[in-house]
Structure 1
């Protein structure tokens, strides 16, 4: 993930653990669970993005994530900044946004949806690098036959998110 000198961050506690949020001048550009794979180095240390818990996008994101995980919100209404990925990653992330709540798809179906049916592994890698967990619903992608596989935030969180959305094994496509 490339960085913007104007990116700011905050943290919020959720029922699924602490969440890091990041916002650029364009919108929300990051939502990662504490301990998630592929955390950007700019969350901590000498190169950390400035903390700005009162930033309007970060405040709205924290509130909406809380509501979503409590079951009182069904979708997000936030400006998103997905520009930090490659063109291929951005196409995958846009396709993730089109998977309706309560539905799932396979990595193969996602590859077909972006017109790259042979790129299933690359699609899986792009899903794993999704910088906006929960908001860009990568948890709705399942392995072959509906297997609960791959989630940078951990399979227990993926299962919890799917359960919150009414998922059962027979819904996988």
Structure 2
């Protein structure tokens, strides 16, 4: 009987992990489609300070690609004295499917040269309608040097809500 339970447990784990791989594969396939079609989408851009309705010393830009008035990709690039933070968000049917945040710091010897020190990839793998929140899987490499971790990963997708309110 123990062998039967072990076998069932193993099948469940195998099915679950394979399901996750398929989900990631589907997301990456959709991102490939978006990237291949960027030239066909409407592109708009605005300064980051204007977009966030604030005035800081940091410089930045927000670029938005739309297909038939539906947002497909957002890039936020913010540069400060320590380096650059870039957030890329991919959407399907108006819903986020993946967000990427990278930090690049200025090299000490060559201040005009950037080095990536941190990367966070957030895959949106589902939506929990009971608690009205997205479900995420993350991949993180490197270490943050001048930004703080999100209290809630949904904050990475803040610009989507901001776009919808303007």
TM-score (norm 2): 0.28
TM-score (norm 1): 0.27
By relative contact order (CA 8 Å, sep 6+), the higher-ranking structure is 1
